[in-house]
């Protein structure tokens, strides 16, 4: 019968059998699945596991810390952090097209991960790669398994032939809610385990226009306020996702104190959904919207207007790009 203790014990045993005394690699994305998969493997084989976190500089406020500090504290895993912000922002400079942004982030990610994997492999020969594949991913991709291919919805291609690993996929039979229970049982922080889905290209597709460091900072500040107030209202689990979108190329006139302002708008995009295939705009309480709007316009200088997206999916997508 399904209990988290049974699943953990069973998986730990299976992973030990599969791995033996070999070395294992895992890329952490910042999301739930890779973190729980890594925590499970870490429980099984300890420091035969090395995790890699590519910090692309497109995360929301606090998310890198969650991996670099909280995840490591909870699991004791050896973590290699690659600070690649300048590289990603350099590659994204001047780019406004959404699909281009996705391609660039995917390309830079695989490039960086590959270089890191190569370095680690030279240091301690690596045989296995952990992936946080869930049961719905298995069904969707026709059930195959094999050598390494980072999940395609993370927008990265495969690794080159001379750098192929066997896969460890300890979450292959599980659904999302079961993965979350496992994460809690393994001692991961709730904020990580119950994180809303977040796209691989990160905030790059929530800035409408060119992605720059300044714009990322503005968006991060607004996004943090929106998320904080959603949590304070106790609504995290009622909402599927809550993108905040910066219309970086749009300005509108406002008034603040004695002066006129000419700032940017943000769009709040809270949605409810079962699986992200369809979604409805979330009817957030007016008081919560009011708090978010007041705080963002008071606390984030460059933003003088807050709007709410009331489009369902279809016809609107969840993200704006």
Q: To which residue do tokens 């708090």 refer?
A: 291
Q: Pick the closer one to ligand XMP by CB: 109 or 128.
A: 109
What are residue 183's DSSP bridge partners?
none
3-state secondary structure 249-286: CCCEEEEECCEEEEEEEEEECCEECCCCCCEEECCCCH
Can you say which residues are annotated as belonging to the binding site? Answer: 29-35
Sequence-distant (6+) residues with CB within 8 A of 44 are 11, 12, 13, 15, 16, 19
Which residue in 276, 308, 309, 311 binds ligand XMP (CB under 6 A)?
Answer: 276
Helix 213-232 to helix 286-299 angle, to the nearest 10 degrees? 150
- Output the smallest distance, CB 320 to ligand XMP, in A: 8
What are residue 262's DSSP bridge partners?
253
First to last CA, the chain: 43
Q: Is 95 in the site for ligand XMP (CB under 6 A)?
A: no
Q: Is 180 in the site for ligand XMP (CB under 6 A)?
A: no
Give the separation between CA 303 and CA 246, rounded to whole angstroms.
Answer: 9
- Output the smallest distance, CB 277 to ligand XMP, in A: 8
Q: Is 204 in the site for ligand XMP (CB under 6 A)?
A: no
In Å, how far are 30, 134, 235, 241, 292 from 232, measured between CA atoms? 22, 30, 8, 16, 11
Q: Is 201 in the site for ligand XMP (CB under 6 A)?
A: yes
Query: CB count, 10 Å around CB of 73?
Result: 11
> Per-residue x/- mask for ligand XMP, residues 109 to 148, rule CB under 6 A?
----------------------------------------
Which residue in 11, 50, 155, 297 binds ligand XMP (CB under 6 A)?
Answer: 155
Q: Pick the closer one to ligand XMP by CB: 16 or 102.
A: 102
Q: Compute, in degrees rounded to 10, the torsion defined by CA atoms 273, 278, 283, 289.
A: 80
Which residue in 57, 200, 263, 265 binds ligand XMP (CB under 6 A)?
Answer: 200
Q: Is 278 in the site for ligand XMP (CB under 6 A)?
A: no
- Output the smallest distance, CB 153 to ligand XMP, in A: 5
Give the separation between CA 113 and CA 82, rounded to whole angstroms.
Answer: 9
Can you say which residues are annotated as belonging to the binding site for ATP? Answer: 29-35
Q: Is 46 in the site for ligand XMP (CB under 6 A)?
A: no
- Output the smallest distance, CB 279 to ligand XMP, in A: 7
Which residue in 18, 66, 241, 304 binds ligand XMP (CB under 6 A)?
Answer: 241
- Output the smallest distance, CB 290 to ligand XMP, in A: 26
Q: Is 176 in the site for ligand XMP (CB under 6 A)?
A: no
Which residue in 30, 199, 263, 265 binds ligand XMP (CB under 6 A)?
Answer: 199
Contacts to ligand XMP by CB under 6 A:
102, 153-155, 197, 199-201, 241, 276, 313, 317-319
């Amino acid at each position: 019968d399904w209990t988290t203790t049974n699943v953990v014990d069973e998986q730990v045993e299976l992973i030990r059998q599969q791995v033996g005394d070999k070395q294992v690699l895992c890329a952490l994305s910042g999301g739930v699945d890779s973190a729980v998969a890594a925590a499970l493997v870490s429980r099984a084989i300890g420091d035969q596991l090395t995790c890699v976190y590519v910090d692309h500089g497109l995360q929301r406020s606090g998310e890198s810390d969650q991996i670099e500090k909280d995840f490591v504290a909870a699991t004791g895993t050896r973590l290699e952090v690659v600070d690649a912000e300048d590289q990603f922002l350099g590659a994204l400079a001047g780019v406004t097209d959404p699909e281009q942004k996705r391609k660039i982030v995917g390309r830079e990610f695989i490039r960086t991960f590959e270089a890191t994997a190569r370095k680690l492999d030279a240091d301690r020969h690596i045989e296995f790669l952990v992936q946080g594949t869930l049961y719905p991913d298995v069904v969707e991709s026709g059930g195959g398994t094999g050598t390494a291919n980072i999940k395609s919805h993370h927008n990265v291609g495969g690794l080159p032939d001379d750098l192929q690993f066997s896969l460890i996929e300890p979450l292959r039979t599980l659904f999302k809610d079961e993965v979350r229970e496992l994460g809690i049982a393994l001692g991961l922080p709730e904020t990580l385990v119950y994180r809303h889905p977040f796209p691989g290209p990160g905030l790059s597709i929530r800035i409408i226009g060119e992605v720059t460091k300044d714009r990322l900072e503005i968006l991060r500040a607004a996004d943090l306020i929106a998320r904080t107030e959603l949590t304070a209202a106790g609504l995290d689990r009622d909402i599927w996702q809550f993108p905040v979108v910066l219309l970086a190329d749009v300005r509108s006139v406002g008034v603040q104190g004695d002066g006129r302002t000419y700032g940017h708008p943000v769009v709040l995009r809270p949605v409810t959904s079962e699986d992200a295939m369809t979604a409805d705009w979330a009817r957030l309480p007016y008081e919560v919207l009011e708090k978010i709007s007041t705080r963002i316009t008071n606390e984030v200088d460059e933003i003088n207007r807050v709007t709410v997206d009331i489009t369902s999916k279809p016809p609107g997508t969840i993200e704006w790009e």
